[in-house]
Amino acid sequence: MSTALRIALAQANLTVGDVAGNTRRMLDILDAARAQAAQLVLFPELSVCGYPPEDLLFHAGLRTQVAEALATLGAATAGITAVIGYPEYVDEQVYNSAAVFSDGQQVANYRKQCLPNYSVFDEERYFAAGTKACVIDVQGVRLGLAICEDVWEPGPCRLAAAAGAQAIVAINGSPFKLGKQSLREAILAERAIENDLPVVYQNLVGGQDELVFDGGSCALTASGETVVRAIAFEESLPCVDLELSSDDTLVPRAGEMAALQSPEASIYQALTTGVRDYVGKHGFPGIVLGLSGGIDSALTLAIAVDALGADAVQAVMMPYRYTAPMSQSDAAEQARLLGVDYQVIPIEAMVTATLDGLAPLFAGLAPDTTEENIQSRCRGILLMAISNKTGRMVLATGNKSEMAVGYATLYGDMAGGFAPIKDCTKTLVYRLAQYRNELSAVIPKRVIDRPPSAELAPDQQDTDSLPPYEVLDGILDALMLDDLSVDGIVAQGFDRDIVVDIVERVRRNEYKRRQAPPGVRISARAFGRDWRYPITSGYRHR
């Protein structure tokens, strides 16, 4: 079989709102695609403005910048065809569109038909839906265009096939969640088989606030077999060769086939990608975090170093009278293993001064969690002061289990600009720590093995206030991922009193979560943009 068409898949890391920077990057990719003898290059969904642009779309200045960028990019398509995602402004409407340029001229335009309005997506807020198929001719090959959600529903690809497409090509801004690549390829296989057409799929990479895009660009035969898969989470420009068979059907030639990652590997890469791009795209010189000697801060430190490099990371141990000697030695050991700047700032005098100042107001009142939270808030003050002075951003180290039930101190350990493991349950934190140590031993084994403790009171353990994390996380998954009622969760084998207590804590602590920093979304439902419960609510789960 002879090659009928070579398609370059621009698995690019672009920045929302940086139209000029994205344009420069795309011009470089055009040159690289030509160097690989590609005849067509696919850029990501809304690549000109970055995805998702959210309310930037309403700003008149963006409209002007997008028009200028399209003119620049279109003029640079000598000898190549490019499919470029952009917001198309038509009077008062905006479309999520793909412009097709060839030899300096726009030859076609496609408008996304299926607008997702669930989970982290709210495209109906911004875009009008297209209604028509778009089939383009590139070197005599007829290609039906699709944009992201269009391949998750059967209609658009069916329209393209009816309009004479010999293959479907899709540009995407599809964010990561656990198991997403397998799900994508299953859906793409459905589209391929039902239309008897090969599918070429290109996707974005990189972090954008809570979302991480994992790439996974791929090509499937008309029978639904994946024959090309790009490496996840990395910028690349893989090429897909469409070959013409003896019966004049198109077949993508087998090429690069990156292995599907294990759950732990994919999540860990998502977390490091999210931290790297959040810090880098904001222009912070590095990060600072509180290293307690516990599992959460230990994992967060490893993620930060893997994302940014040791020189960009500062760890601070802030011991108080309840901080165990093993916590201090384990924190120091991990800092040494990772080669980060490590400082120790005792907070005894700070806490004492705060309690002395409050003594007249607290006279006659028994000690409670107030005194514990003062320790945490003193630590938050120190970290934020370091951030202000150095420009380094504070990474918060809390996990999803704690955030769910409010086992975290507002303006204390919740302080920070970004929370890498915010969507990781405590049981997942342990799995990720074990996974990271399999790559190289950077988290002391005792940190993983010892019972978890906030160390805010004598001999304190998390189980003093919470059920075992295996139980807590099972209840949270049933509540958050499956939307089960109390009865439904109890039917899974959990104790009713514990379930009622946990779901009530989740309800009560919504006000805390609204004030928490953003963090990487890795599950099917994270606190943040796809958890939209009211703060003030009389609802009671039953």
Q: For residue 155, what are the CA distances in angstroms to 142, 150, 159?
A: 18, 8, 6
Q: Please check whether residue 315 lies inside any domain of the structure.
A: yes
Which of 213, 244, 261 finishes a domain?
261
User: Measured at the alpha carbon of residue 185, what is the angle toward residues 183 and 188, in degrees to the nearest 5?
Assistant: 110
CA 337 vs CA 90, 141, 330, 437, 525: distances in Å: 57, 55, 10, 12, 34
Q: 93 and 42: one domain?
A: yes
Full domain range(s) for residue 6: 2-261
- Three-state SS letters, 322-341: CCCHHHHHHHHHHHHHHCCE
My answer on whether 257 and 312 are in the same domain is no
Cis peptide before 52 (omega within 30 of 0): yes
pLDDT at 529: 86
pLDDT, residue 1, reads 59
Domain assignment present for 249:
yes
pLDDT in tens, 409-438: 999 999 999 999 999 999 999 999 999 999
Give 114-124 pLDDT, tens digit per residue. 999 988 899 99
pLDDT level of residue 177 (50, 70, 90 thresholds): very high
Q: What is the pLDDT of residue 364?
A: 92
Same domain, 367 and 430: yes
Q: Are 166 and 215 contained in the same domain?
A: yes
Of these residues, 88, 112, 114, 177, which one is catalytic? 112
The verdict on 271 and 234 lying in the same domain is no
pLDDT tens-digit profile of 312-340? 999 999 999 988 999 999 999 999 999 99
Label residue 416 exposed, middle or buried (CB < 10 Å: 0-12, 13-18, 19+): buried
What DSSP state is assigned to residue 230?
P
Domains contained in the chain, number: 2
> Worst-scoring range by mean pLDDT, 177-186, 258-267, 404-413?
404-413
Q: For position 31, which CATH number holds? A: 3.60.110.10
**Within this chain, do residues 234 and 129 fall inside the same structural domain, yes or no?**
yes
**pLDDT > 90 fraction of the chain, expressed in percent and rounded:** 88
In a domain, 480, yes or no: no
CATH number reported for the structural domain that contains residue 295 in this entry: 3.40.50.620
Share of the chain above pLDDT 70, in %: 99
Q: Identify whether 203 is part of a domain.
A: yes
Read out DSSP for 116-167? --STT--GGGT-BPP----EEEETTEEEEEEEGGGGTSHHHHHHHHHTT-SE
Q: pTM, whole model, 2 decimals?
A: 0.94
Quick one: 172 and 241 in the same domain?
A: yes
**Distance from C-alpha of 387 to C-alpha of 417, rounded to nearest angstrom:** 10
d(CA 431, CA 443): 12
239 shares its domain with 269: no
Higher pLDDT, 465 or 255: 255
Q: Are residues 250 and 367 in the same domain?
A: no
Q: pLDDT tens, 365-386?
A: 999 999 999 999 999 999 999 9
pLDDT at 202: 98
Between these two residues, 144 and 535, which has the higher pLDDT value?
A: 144
Q: Is residue 25 part of a domain?
A: yes
Q: Please state the φ and ψ torsions of residue 195, each to the nearest 5 degrees.
A: -110, -5
Residue type at 324? A
Structural tokens at position 317: 């141990």
SS3 105: strand
Query: Quick count: other Cβ atoms within 10 Å of Cβ 468?
Result: 12
Q: Which of 49, 114, 148, 157 is catalytic?
A: 148
Q: Is 148 a catalytic residue?
A: yes
- Residue 519: inside a domain, yes or no? no
- Annotated active-site residue 114? The verdict is no
Please say whether the beta carbons of 327 and 334 come within 8 A.
no
pLDDT, mean over the chain: 94
The stretch 1-30 carries a mean pLDDT of 93
Give yes or no for residue 456 having a pLDDT over 90: no
Q: Does residue 283 sit in the same domain as residue 381? A: yes
In a domain, 110, yes or no: yes
342 & 235 share domain = no
Split at pLDDT 50, 70, 90, the class of 457 is confident
The residue from 194, 228, 261 where one domain ends is 261
164 and 56 within one domain: yes
Q: Which residues contact 139 (CB under 8 A, 6 or more apart)?
A: 4, 5, 39, 40
User: What burial letters (b/e) apply to 447-467, b meaning 16+ CB within 10 Å?
Assistant: beebebbbbbeeebebeeebb
- pLDDT band, residue 542 (cuts 50/70/90): confident
The residue among 261, 284, 300 that closes a domain is: 261
**Domain contains 68:** yes
* pLDDT tens per residue across span 334-356: 999 999 999 999 999 999 999 99
